[in-house]
Amino acid sequence: MKEEFLQAIDEHQGIILKVCRMYCSDNSDAEDLYQDILLALWKAWPKFRRDAKISTWMYRVGLNQAISRLRNSKRNVPRESLNFVHDTIPANEQNRLDIQFDKELQTAIAALGRFDRALLMLYLDEKTYREIAEILGVSESNVGVKINRIKKQLKEKIKP
């Protein structure tokens, strides 16, 4: 079971990285969130029924963990340590939002609500409306409406 889990993490670690970069402004917080997501995935692994794609499941668990962490950030929650090789965030430059996007866009994205940031991240990751709807638990039509509103918001904030 451990080997299967580690293989899934190796194949889909970009998902975890994207969530960390979308919800954390510095590397220390991103590394903490990375570990929190790995721990949540590990705890949920035995219950994963494989009726959804593993990437969809990982996005759902990762986003739920990131949003929960934001909610609980005011409380001092004890952290559990992982004994895996993957317990620190990799320095994969191609997945870093601060390299992919300029600071002005980053600031505009950071100003979005938690749900809108998650939706935008999935959209930028070229997920279909159906996949986004499944991950976030909303209708496909709601995804389309929200994406259009987010685009409009970003265009207004980043006027030339």
pLDDT at 48: 86
Cα separation, 154 vs 158, whole angstroms: 6
Predicted TM-score (pTM) of the model is: 0.61
Tens digits of residue pLDDT in 59-71:
989 988 988 887 7
Q: Is the pLDDT of residue 35 over 80?
A: yes
Mean pLDDT confidence for 40-52: 87
Contact 59, 132 (CB under 8 A): no
CATH 1.10.1740.10 residue ranges in the chain?
A: 1-100
Length of the chain counted residue by residue: 160
Is the confidence at residue 73, as pLDDT, over 70? Answer: no
Class of domain 1-100: mainly alpha
Total H helices, total E strands in the chain:
8, 0
More confident residue, 71 or 17: 17
Residue 67: per-residue pLDDT: 83
Topology of 101-160 in CATH? Arc Repressor Mutant, subunit A (1.10.10)
pLDDT recorded at residue 158:
80
* Every domain range in the chain assigned CATH 1.10.10: 101-160
Residues 6+ apart with CB under 8 A from 122: 59, 131, 132, 135, 136
pLDDT for res 130: 92
